[in-house]
Amino acid sequence: MENREAIEALRDLLDTTREYPHLDGMTMFGEAITLAISALKKQEKKPAKAKFNKRYNKFVYFCPVCGEVTGKYDFCSECGQAIDYDNTEPYAEGES
């Protein structure tokens, strides 16, 4: 099963938990599903933001989600987002 398929299945399950909020544990179950969806989404690589640093004469890479400097690691150390360096996007000033 691919991540996107799992996300869709979890979203369907989340809808079911919303239909029965009065049952014991459904709210907590819904929160767990929401957390699982969030974790699966972070595993999908997103293009890093790149900005050329004239002082060091090299590119600096930023997380596309939280804006933290990534250092070309596979995941952002701040938010856990998977990073794709093969398809970088330009970093715009004031962006985070």
pTM across the whole model: 0.70
What pLDDT shows up at residue 95?
58
The candidate with the shortest Cα–Cα distance to 76, out of 51, 52, 43, is: 43
Copy the structure tokens of residue 22: 């009065």
Give dist(CA 29, CA 17) in Å, integer: 7
Beta bridge mates, 50: 61, 90
Give the model's confidence band at 29: pLDDT under 50 very low, under 70 low, under 90 confident, else very high.
confident
